[in-house]
């Protein structure tokens, strides 16, 4: 593997994964609409709007593996979601199809299944149940990934990321937290597996409260090593419990499931 492309390089996960990804290949291409900062040794920095098909084509040229973090990462207007997540993800898979079929890690989200209640134990075969237009756009990306594998042989792993931040921030994240180190180890497993076909993987660390079952993706050899448990006492002290019938507690998508329509 010579060149890795990471979209969304100026964002939260882009910043966290920049150093680990630099160690996985001689060249790391960093792309974003926003400023990703100056290129360090072994890096290429590209400014690219994912909604611009020609620019996405140029961004994908010559890459062997893509980590697709770019896009609107929370709920927004349909127009913003359409351009960044729906059109943007289509442009990316289409560019990959025409340019050597690099494997793609698609940053999906727990919000693709956010209307399941938190007592549910889900695996990748559970029907989609998005909790927002943002979640719907991730369902689109997962369907696109499935189609591009079945019809064109573009390999992908759709990672339904829980909450990836340096530390969990609230009670919900005690269940959904994915440590940056576990994410970096996951990316390495995905990049180096002999074959991934089309796989859906849930991204959470080895937390005490587990909502998701990754046993069908055991072939990847990814075993999360971190846990939110050391943060529990401080989080419980700082965030009083909400009533158990509050939609933000009841549903896996938390506040996304509880929120009204963004444009109302």
Ligand X SMILES: NC(=O)c1ccc[n+]([C@@H]2O[C@H](COP(=O)([O-])OP(=O)(O)OC[C@H]3O[C@@H](n4cnc5c(N)ncnc54)[C@H](O)[C@@H]3O)[C@@H](O)[C@H]2O)c1
* 210 neighbors 204 (Cβ within 8 angstroms): yes
Of the candidates 203, 21, 43, the one whose C-alpha atom is nearest the C-alpha of residue 124 is: 203
Sheet holding 103-109, edge to edge: 43-47, 27-32, 3-7, 65-68, 103-109, 156-161, 198-203
Q: Does 164 bind ligand X (CB under 6 A)?
A: yes
Residue 71 in the binding site for ligand X (CB under 6 A): yes
The number of beta carbons lying within 10 Å of the beta carbon of residue 123 is 13
- Which is the catalytic residue, given 90, 134, 148, 251? 134
Compare residues 154 and 161 and give the one whose CB is closer to ligand X.
161
Q: C-beta of 14: minimal distance to ligand X in Å?
A: 6
Annotated active-site residue 116? The verdict is: no
Question: Total binding residues for ligand X by CB under 6 A?
Answer: 26
Q: Which tokens hold the place of 227?
A: 């846990």
55 in contact with ligand X (CB under 6 A): no
Q: Which of 5, 14, 185, 202 binds ligand X (CB under 6 A)?
A: 14
Q: What is the smallest separation between the CB atom of 181 and ligand X, expressed in angstroms?
A: 14
Q: With CB under 6 A as the contact rule, which of the stretches 12-20, 119-127, 182-190, 220-228 interacts with ligand X?
A: 12-20
Of the residues 72, 175, 191, 235, which one makes contact with ligand X according to CB under 6 A: 72
Question: What is the token pair recorded at 9?
Answer: 């390089």
The string of DSSP codes covering 218-258 is GGG-------SGGGHHHHHHHSPPPPTTSHHHHBTTTHHHH
Q: Is the dihedral of CA 243, 261, 129, 13 positive or negative?
A: negative
51 binds ligand X (CB under 6 A): yes
Q: Which is nearer to ligand X, 227 or 240 (CB)?
A: 227
Q: Which stretch binds ligand X (CB under 6 A): 11-19, 92-100, 187-195, 224-232?
A: 11-19
33 binds ligand X (CB under 6 A): yes
The CA-CA-CA angle for residues 239, 244, 247, to 5°, reads 90
Instruction: Kindly list the catalytic residues.
Output: 134
Residues that bind ligand X (CB under 6 A): 8, 10-14, 32-34, 48-51, 69-73, 83-84, 88, 107, 109, 161, 163-164
């Amino acid at each position: 593997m010579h060149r890795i492309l990471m979209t969304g390089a100026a964002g939260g996960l882009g910043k966290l994964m920049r150093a680990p990804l630099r160690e996985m290949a001689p060249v790391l291409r960093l792309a974003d609409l926003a400023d990703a900062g100056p290129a360090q040794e072994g890096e290429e920095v590209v400014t690219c709007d994912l909604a611009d098909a020609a620019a996405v084509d140029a961004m994908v040229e010559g890459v062997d593996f893509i980590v697709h973090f770019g896009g609107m990462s929370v709920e927004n207007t349909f127009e913003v979601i359409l351009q960044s997540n729906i059109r943007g993800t289509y442009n990316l898979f289409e560019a990959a199809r025409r340019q050597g079929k690099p494997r793609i890690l698609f940053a999906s989200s727990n919000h693709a299944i956010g209307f399941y209640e938190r007592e549910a134990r889900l695996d990748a075969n559970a029907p989609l149940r998005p909790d927002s237009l943002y979640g719907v756009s991730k369902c689109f990306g997962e369907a696109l990934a499935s189609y591009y594998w079945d019809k064109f042989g573009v390999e992908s792993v759709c990672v339904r990321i829980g909450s990836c931040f340096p530390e969990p921030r609230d009670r919900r994240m005690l269940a959904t937290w994915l440590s940056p180190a576990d994410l970096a180890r996951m990316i390495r497993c995905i990049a180096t597996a002999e074959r991934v076909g089309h796989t859906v993987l849930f991204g959470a660390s080895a937390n005490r409260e587990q909502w998701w079952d990754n046993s069908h993706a055991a072939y990847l050899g990814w075993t999360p090593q971190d846990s939110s448990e050391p943060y529990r006492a401080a989080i419980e002290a700082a965030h009083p419990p909400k009533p158990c019938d509050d939609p933000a507690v009841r549903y896996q998508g938390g506040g996304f499931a509880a929120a009204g329509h963004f444009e109302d």
